[in-house]
Structure 1
């Protein structure tokens, strides 16, 4: 008998496909703070615009990018408040695809999506979800912090993490999702740690922010059943051992840091019983800076300890991974962060590590 094939998946009725964490409590439109939020639609028509309502925070407003028919990405810097942004006009008659992607972080701005306007055209059934699911939990290393500075050669204006300088879509998390053909959710926020944040008075560490649909809104709660990752990559730790701002009162105690890393891992396992969880000591960590803090050694020690404890308890789907230390030629983005070469190397490395454990090709 000939091999049977599964019937094609039904995309359902006309709708917009949302990817990433959105706060959906306001019925006028979902709100996006985390980087990597996306809205995608198929439509028939010749013109498309998007309506946003932006809440600029510090060194914002937010920056989004957009693509028409999977073509080149275009930058879409928002203005504070409501705005209507034309994305394409005079398209050929027929079917088209539009996608918008939030490339900046929540501390620069939070955006409410108020809808696409097809100007007489019609919304069509959406693109299908990808079957594989990936979640990235991280800080500036994966946020695309200062990425555009590596492209332009300038880290002005504003601080290194200003919205105009960063680009999450070009950082290693999005590159990894493309290599794995996986749909990605991101809980990424520069400056956060397990035990301490780089801004020491800020007590909202990554463990505090993780449950939120909008990291800037303590009342928001993300329904974790909405997205069940097959793979979670946790890339946190450098800020715990950096020199604190605006004043420094030392590095995180190793025992406390290890406990917080274990709490995050345990929480992920409780919510995602089958997920492969990768704890990463990322490549920019060194023991040379800050001097005397053993930043890389402490992070490696803590993450290997947590991994071994979970493995010993029978959880074989927790892994420790550590790409080789970055070299100076890779750290071309602002404030010593990774540029294009760095992000591509980490994405390749993680794709290989994930494939070893999951069998994904």
Structure 2
């Protein structure tokens, strides 16, 4: 679905990953394309101009964003959830990004579809050269947030071509959409680590390397990741019960409860991967299942047509802590929540068990899934979504 807000003489197309109203997350700032830069959100997939099979296309925009964002500040959109990506087309031999970060985020930067290079931001810098020395002409740039809100929140001001030319308006294909809802696993926490003893850090976190993005790529879909390390359905890694996923899910910015997300897009599939932190020390009890049931109901209310897949984490085991049988308990609670929804007439909610990660495949930092495990998770999820959606 598409919405547009007319600001002066400029239309902001709020497609796929934006909001129809200005209540935190949604288009209110104009898509400025004057002088050498441009700004203004629009959602869509990674393919500019629709490719060979355009299907439904977005409006012409100078900047497209896939993921949640907050547009209350007219100076530039803010975003914090991992995996959020911004696309623009510039004309010239190079491009500079004007972006302010609250922390030290890391981004993948791809020019004209080439393998990405790494951009590291700091709180005391706001201008970054993304490319130079290119052949003079039109080029596409995609900037994807690798790191999560714990690392930082970014505000995008503009892309500026080396020659000071205006950005080139493009369309993006509006196709298949997947939403990932989870914790550190979905953030790609430690996925680039080579041993379980390495600690959490931006250098080893990469949402683009996690199962959600791998699944979207395999299925030719765009995806949005709503994930935050340490949180759970009922309680977090430290045992706190506030600001868990049911509290954060409605936000445009992960850590700002005033940034209400009003996006009206309809994902084809929603994948929920929560529970690892709920079962970190002791089993949470039946409240885990009842809260899970309520959250599934919330998702259904917001997205009446989506397939919802409730998954069992690859990190929950029956042998740690010893005698805990946490995997068996978690499986039962999640399957119970799914069964309740099914009994209420919701046949598009299902259960998927990700295989328990193994030492043979290796571990990422802090015993999180590594690249091999994420690939296996993706393969299993791809098979399920193909079957349920006919993709």
Is the Cα–Cα contact under 8 Å of residues 46 and 121 in structure 1 kept in the other structure?
A: no
TM-score by length of 2: 0.83
Per the alignment, residue 123 of structure 2 pairs with 80
Per the alignment, residue 96 of structure 1 pairs with 139
Structure 1 segments, 4+ long, off by >6 Å, are none
Per the alignment, residue 192 of structure 2 pairs with 148
Cα distance 1:7–1:134, how it changes in 2: closer, same or farther (>3 A)?
A: closer
Q: Is 1:347 aligned with 2:378?
A: yes
RMSD: 1.9
Per the alignment, residue 222 of structure 2 pairs with 183
Per the alignment, residue 36 of structure 1 pairs with 83
Is the Cα–Cα contact under 8 Å of residues 178 and 268 in structure 2 kept in the other structure?
A: yes
Per the alignment, residue 247 of structure 2 pairs with 208
SS class of match (1:122) = coil
Cα distance 1:324–1:252, how it changes in 2: closer, same or farther (>3 A)?
A: same
Per the alignment, residue 262 of structure 1 pairs with 293
Per the alignment, residue 330 of structure 1 pairs with 361
Equivalent-residue separation in structure 2 for 1:183 and 1:79 (angstroms): 28
1:244-259 alignment to 2 at 5 Å? 250-253=282-285, 255-259=286-290
Per the alignment, residue 64 of structure 2 pairs with 17
Cα distance 1:155–1:114, how it changes in 2: closer, same or farther (>3 A)?
A: farther
**1:37-59 CA-partner distances (Å, limit 9, x unpaired):** 11001222111011111112xxx
- Structure with the larger helix share: 1
CA apart distance, 1:82 = 4.3
Per the alignment, residue 3 of structure 1 pairs with none
CA apart distance, 1:163 = 1.6
Query: What are the ranges of 5 or more consecutive residues in structure 2 without an aligned counterpart?
Result: 1-52
Cα distance 1:237–1:72, how it changes in 2: closer, same or farther (>3 A)?
A: same
Count residues with an aligned counterpart: 339
Query: What are the ranges of 5 or more consecutive residues in structure 1 without an aligned counterpart?
Result: 1-5, 244-249
Is the Cα–Cα contact under 8 Å of residues 129 and 183 in structure 1 kept in the other structure?
A: no
Is the Cα–Cα contact under 8 Å of residues 56 and 174 in structure 2 kept in the other structure?
A: no
CA apart distance, 1:212 = 0.6
1:223-302 alignment to 2 at 5 Å? 223-225=262-264, 227-243=265-281, 250-253=282-285, 255-302=286-333
CA apart distance, 1:122 = 2.9
TM-score by length of 1: 0.89
